[in-house]
Structure 1
Amino acid sequence: MNGSTAPSPWLPTAPCTPGRCAAHTEDGAGDPFERGAGARAERAALPLAVARLLAGTGTVLLGVLLAPIAGLLPVAARLALVRCWVRAVVRAFGVRVRHTGATGATPGPLLVVANHVSWLDIPIVAAVLPGRMVAKTEVRSWPVLGPLAALGGTVFVDRDRLKALPGTVRDVTGALSRGGRVIVFPEGSTWCGRARGRFRPAAFQSALDAGCAVLPLRIDYRPTGSAAYVGDDPLGASLWRVVTTRRIVATVRTAAPLPSGRYPDRRALAAAAQQAVAHLDVVQRAVAKESANLPPLSVHQRDSSRPAAASSSRTPS
């Protein structure tokens, strides 16, 4: 994805394209989820967009400069610092993050698997569940974000070399066996958020070999098109689309962990994780549809409303 060279025939590909799927204007026709979330992508004023771009890239560069110092800290302190930093990066680019579900309820090693929509997925998941990412080798050469990914311990996958895949699986298994948390996007390519791909089973072998649980996670953006990073979309164009959108909200939902030992092989485990992520989408759309059909709250009802449940929170501003 997102490159000028033709992909290998064995690689997963999405039908999503920048012109069709990544746009500033959406009316959410026929989609109660889009309409209920106020999905029209209003443009931000040019000075605000430029300020966001400068603030976001500046915050990323600050993290790169401080990374050697952070590496000297104890693991717990380093993870806390990384979490605060990625939250600041996302916030600087004008994106708000909400998350629901228990993010720290599963102790020990954990393979986190999520749908893949955008380059934003990486800092957004890191803001909720810090861990080592698995990403394509092209990310290493990205300006600003590439060096940061390398410093963060990202496991890079050479998607053009099928023979390199067993080595990547061994690397992920090793990280999990040492008690770490690894984040994988098993669709193998970005999808626009309206459609989704099949979960490829290779990464799930690592969870079986390490004997750890799998945590399914779903990422949704509203408006959808502004965050989508698909096809041959240049990174610069995607960055500009993000900062020029008046408001992007990313919602992260986690399902119950799946004990890998309950599944006979990686294909069954991958299918179960994919079903869990799809179920999170179905539940959210049902809630959005019901909310869209409710009458507006009266003044009395607004005054007497209570805060959201403790399982749902937003990252600090």
Structure 2
Amino acid sequence: MTHPWMPTSPCGAGCLTSGAPVVALPRRVARVTAAAGVVLLALLALPLLAVLPRRERVARLIFRGVLAAFGVRLVVHGRLDGDGRGALVVNNHISWLDIVAVNAVRPMRALAKKEIAGWPVLGRLVAGAGNVFLDRERLSTLPATVAELAAALRAGSLVNVTPEGTTWCGRASGRFRPAAFQAAIDGGVPVRPLALRYRLGDGRETTQPAFIGPESLIESLRRVARLRGLVLEVFVCPEIAPGRAADRRELAALAEAAVHAALGTVTVAATRSHAVVEAA
């Protein structure tokens, strides 16, 4: 079921760039097999992560293993420090690879849509990471979700949120919705914006990794698996300190501006549903 306040994106198959180099079918099969192996190992290791002395390093290796399995090279500009402080980490949303990349930089909790908890295999992995789930079909649950996020932030957790609410192709993007930023204000913690960009080995930007339109996760996985030389860039933007913004809307706008400044050429397209959510 969909509702007027749910995020929507006009991006679809027409947004996909062409001319990207691809690998042969056997290499694609090997990539998917390797990625599945990494995920299964992660599931087996999940009960141990809570007691391992260097569990953050192990978790980072797992996420980097997924990227390596798909042939994705991760390039990080800047450093994402935690130093025991809580922070709301926000980024533009393009692909299912985004969450893998963020955790490959620094493992953290996340705000995820409730549907993910029901995904086979991956759902268990996401739930086991201590993520907060949002029921997007019931707007009445949003205050409780924000309160849960604020509590996690006050306790010193880094929590990742994709405030666009849905995936875009990367050349266009959505407005940052302000609701989750209230958790940073209530928790008295900074906001750490991240800007993500996908390009090919020759430097050309590509929208091929985007998870857009009505396609299934399997279709998106196949498209990523066949790409040769995919590079995922993560730009760590300057921290937005507590108290810098007057309210959640201003805080969302500051974070959005930081991401677009880091990317430089990304255009912003406002949607009608954005105005509805901001009024909530």
Query: So what's the TM-score if we normalise by structure 1?
Result: 0.79
1:128-160 deviation line (CA, Å, top 9, x unaligned): 122101111111122222111011111111111
Q: Please report how far the alpha carbon of residue 44 of structure 1 lies from its aligned counterpart in structure 2 after TM superposition.
A: 0.7
Change (3 A) 1:283 1:240: closer
- SS of equivalent residue, structure 2 residue 243: helix
The one of 166, 174, 187 equivalent to 2:143 is 166
| Correspondence list, 1:1-317, <5 A | 6-17=1-12, 19-22=13-16, 25=18, 40-74=19-53, 77-104=54-81, 108-223=85-200, 224-282=206-264
Aligned residue for 1:48, secondary structure, equals helix
* Aligned 8 A contact 2:171 2:266 in 1: no
Contact 1:260–1:269, Cα closer than 8 Å, also in 2: no
CA distance in 1 between counterparts of 2:239 and 2:92 reads 16
* Contact 2:170 2:266 (C-alpha < 8 Å) held by counterparts: no
Aligned-residue Cα RMSD (Å) equals: 1.7
1:56 and 1:199 map into 2 onto residues whose CA distance is 31
**Off by >6 Å, runs of 4+ in structure 1:** none
Structure 1 or 2, whichever has the larger Rg, is 1
Instruction: Structure 2: give runs of 5+ residues left out of the alignment.
Output: 201-205, 268-280
Q: Which amino acid aligns with 2:3?
A: S
Percent sequence identity over matched residues? 47
Contact 1:86/1:126 (8 A) holds in 2: yes
Scaled by the length of structure 2, the TM-score of the pair is: 0.90
Deviation at 1:73, TM superposition (A): 2.0
CA contact (8 A) 1:106 1:257 kept: no
Q: Which amino acid aligns with 2:42?
A: G
The answer to whether the 8 A contact 2:84-2:156 is kept is no
CA shift for structure 1 position 105: 6.7
User: Unaligned stretches of 5+ in structure 1?
Assistant: 1-5, 26-39, 286-317
Aligned 8 A contact 2:260 2:266 in 1: no
Given residue 169 of structure 2, which amino acid in structure 1 is its aligned partner?
C
**Match in the other structure for 1:31:** none
- Aligned with 1:217: secondary structure? strand
